[in-house]
Amino acid sequence: MSTAHRPRRVLITGGGGFIGSHLSELLLDRGDTVTIVDDFSTGRRANVGIVRDGAGRAERYRVIEGTVSTVLPGLSPLDYDCVYHLAAAVGVRMVVERPIHTIETNVHETSVVLRFCAERALPVLIASTSEVYGKGVRVPMREDDDVVYGSTGFSRWCYACSKAIDEYLALAYHREFGLPAVIVRFFNTVGPRQIGEHGMVLPRFVEAALDGRALEVHGDGRQSRCFCDVRDVVKVLPRLVETEACHGRVFNVGREEPISIRELADLVNATLGGAGGVRMVPYAEAFSAGFDDLLVRQPDLSRIREAVGFAPAIPLAQTIRDLAEEIRGRRALDAAHGAPG
């Protein structure tokens, strides 16, 4: 921890989730006091234990279970120095199968957070997504690009639209009330503690490889994405919130190197010695509702490099190994406690 760092009182919504738990650890380790709000609909209670068990963390770590809209009215913005809003409906499968939940959760809960922060002009980071770019008008994707979405007949795009509304709200609060808000568009953040239950591709692949099963690649596998380790991602978030010049702006966060989903499956098998091969699964078979996809999603990172010097360092193969190790540990713990595998 830098000697110049002034400990902050931080509120993290979705702090029990994949990104939120890693961010909580980072902030606690640098001396901050962290309160998380999470209903654990997609977050994991086990993540709370992992974070709390670190040396010197427990006394500065508070967990409040519940939705943002039920918990925040009972809190005072005077008790916090900044807010990270990470709570959201996430995962391709959840978006396709539960569109009402996706839309209402993302838009309503973000509105509650912004009103809370506006009471005291609290700096706030709003987690958005590369999905906001829709089908994309060019590659690599830049923060000020136009956006093109598919038909409303494909529920897949409701997530993109709901997160775009979140961005409009945050930017409107900045312009109208001077709220120091920063928006980050995550591009396929991956790493330890991510789970495949809601359609996240890398943990699905890693779990299958560990089990000796075939890795299921949806579509033709030519669609490419850019995967960035969560430990690289969370390091840059405090710098964005704490840099005044970043307020009222949108930033891509991720890696620039693309890999096709078929290539990703092959890399996972090669890295972990997976013996089950790869099975191609048509979208119509993989999802119960209409699905529409795009071929390339790649960020332009010029803006975030210039603003705070962002430079992700952890290679994808290392992320795969670390995720596999975490999954093995999780399974061993579940087995020791008699939980289903």
- Strands 215-218 and 224-225, bridge-based pairing: unpaired
3-class state of residue 107 by DSSP: helix
Report the b/e string of 110-121 with b at 16+ CB within 10 A.
bbbbbebbbeee
Between CA 198 and CA 38 the distance in angstroms is 17
Task: Give residues with Cβ within 8 angstroms of 307, minimum separation 6.
Answer: 240, 243, 245, 246, 249, 251
Q: Among 162, 171, 161, which residue's Cα sits nearest to residue 124?
A: 171
Between CA 222 and CA 228 the distance in angstroms is 19
The residue whose two tokens read 């790649």 is: 298
Q: Among 255, 281, 244, which residue's Cα sits nearest to residue 123?
A: 244
Between CA 265 and CA 267 the distance in angstroms is 5
CA angle 285, 161, 194 (to 5 degrees): 60
The residue whose two tokens read 């994707």 is: 141
Helices of type H across 221-315: 230-242, 261-272, 283-286, 302-308
Task: Give residues with Cβ within 8 angstroms of 146, minimum separation 6.
Answer: 137
159 is an active site residue: yes
Whether cis (ω within 30° of 0) applies to the bond prior to 340 is no
Q: Which two tokens stand for residue 293?
A: 């996809």
Q: Which two tokens stand for residue 233?
A: 């991602």
Between CA 104 and CA 155 the distance in angstroms is 14
> Which of 84, 133, 159, 173 does the annotation list as catalytic?
159
Give the residue numbers marked as catalytic. Answer: 159
